[in-house]
Structure 1
Amino acid sequence: MKILGLIPARGGSKGIPKKNIKPLQGKPLFQYTFEAAKDAILLSKLLLSSEDPEIIKVAERMGLEVPFVRPAAMAADDTSSLEVIKHALNFFAQKGEKFDAFCLLQPTTPFRRKGLIDEAIEKFSSGNFDSLVSVREVPAEYNPHWVFEEVNGNLKIATGEKDIITRRQELPKAFHRDGAIYLTKTEVLLEQNSLYGKNIGFIDTTGDPYVNIDTPEDWEEAERLLAMIREQ
């Protein structure tokens, strides 16, 4: 399976200015994602997509391929990942190069255990999946079977059930996306305009260090986790 690895890194971060190239313990943030992806032997090609000259310069200096400059219109706050991926796939399609699938690797989730990307690709390639995402288990107290929605001033179980599951041991496992890996077949993206399709596989990262950096507080947590990782 021919898979395009894509690291999106725009320059317009507001919560943390210049977030993608801000040094985290001496390395630009997106370098952590690059290093994890560089070790993945099952990625057919790896590139960075950015509109920002400074980010592009930093990427090229560390050996990360930047084959195009993303249009500024595709680097706004409301630009979807779908648009960014389609732009990259179209760039290569115009050159006669096509990919069976793509792997979106967001720099804001910098910590990926060694071999995780290849593990995900192996599971994705061997299964009947439209997509595969990395996930973490939801703690019992936030399990959707124990979550309520307000309906006309009353609380209803979010899953629609009439009776609540009373014992934690009976709760089915629930997961949330952690943002580290999105693998999707190209045809699913182009034909269904979706990152997911109908058959979604997953790889569990619950036991791994995790942060999804959006705020200064998240950045502080990333520094704390990285210091802990380096001490191990």
Structure 2
Amino acid sequence: MTSRICTICARGGSKGVVNKNIRLLDGKPLIAHSIERARASGLFASIAVSSDSEAILEIAGVWGANYLIRRPDELATDKAAKIPAIRHCLHEAERLSGLKPSTFVDLDATSPLRSVDDIRGAVALLEERGVSSVITGTAARRSPYFNLVEEGEDGFVRISKTLDRPVVRRQDAPRCFDMNASIYVWKRDRFLAEPSVFYKDTLIFEMPEDRSPDIDSELDFEWVRYLMERGKRNG
């Protein structure tokens, strides 16, 4: 039996979409989609949900989370970074389960369109390549070398990144990705020694655009709802 742990961190105080983590999407609470995918992957000995909301924790238990972890208030503010919350959740999950996995995964509760194969693929990439971490993303719509600009302190805009050669076609630029915040995979020991998203050997697992939306607004919510309905129609 694998000893991998999956963490899912879901704050209760969303402002963009009120109560989004327990709002119904395709007949089930938003957070349930991530729990179900984690369970269906067959990769995890335990799934731990961290939240400052008792309602979220109660629903997470109903939908199959193994451990319900109360997030400290200081890790649940609007300005709190997510990495400390993930670290706290991992520590508590290990304490409660007695496990110390070599690999652990965090699934974002607001990315319900990821597939089981996405989770398996990201984990396999880390474990087969022996790297410190794997993130997920989709091909970027704009390239910082070609058509993404930034405003300088002088108020003028310029291409965000330049090379020592002109880039006249998007295809001539290095491949760039939009992080979709869907799946993070870490080597446990590296993460605990140096909690971070990026290391020198971080790899990306590419996901298609239609499985990459992250719900942060009402428009995002409706877009994800449409993609789910389209997926059902297309079988």
Q: TM-score, normalised by structure 2?
A: 0.88
User: Can you give the 5+ residue segments of structure 1 that lack an aligned partner in the other structure?
Assistant: none
- List, as ranges, runs of 4+ consecutive aligned residues in structure 1 with deviation greater than 6 Å: none
Contact 1:188/1:197 (8 A) holds in 2:
no
Closer/same/farther in 2, CA of residues 52 and 145 from structure 1, 3 Å limit: same
Is 1:100 the counterpart of 2:93? The answer is: no
Contact 1:3/1:45 (8 A) holds in 2:
yes
1:132-168 CA-partner distances (Å, limit 9, x unpaired): 01110012xx111113334445544322336531123
RMSD: 2.0
Cα offset, 1:45, TM superposition? 1.9
Paired residues for 1:110-121 under 5 Å: 110-121=112-123
Closer/same/farther in 2, CA of residues 143 and 3 from structure 1, 3 Å limit: same
- Mapped to 1, the partners of 2:157 and 2:59 lie a distance apart of 51
User: Can you give the 5+ residue segments of structure 2 that lack an aligned partner in the other structure?
Assistant: none
**Between 170-179 and 94-103, the greater mean CA deviation after superposition:** 94-103
Contact 1:145/1:159 (8 A) holds in 2:
yes
Paired residues for 1:176-191 under 5 Å: 176-191=178-193
Contact 1:128/1:199 (8 A) holds in 2:
no
Identity across matched positions, percent: 27
The equivalent residue for 1:201 is 203
| AA at the equivalent of 2:143 | N
The equivalent residue for 1:11 is 12
Q: TM-score, normalised by structure 1?
A: 0.90
Closer/same/farther in 2, CA of residues 117 and 132 from structure 1, 3 Å limit: same
Aligned residue-pair number: 230
Cα offset, 1:116, TM superposition? 1.5
Is 1:144 the counterpart of 2:157? The answer is: no
The equivalent residue for 2:219 is 217
1:67-116 CA-partner distances (Å, limit 9, x unpaired): 43222222111222211122123224546532223211011111012322
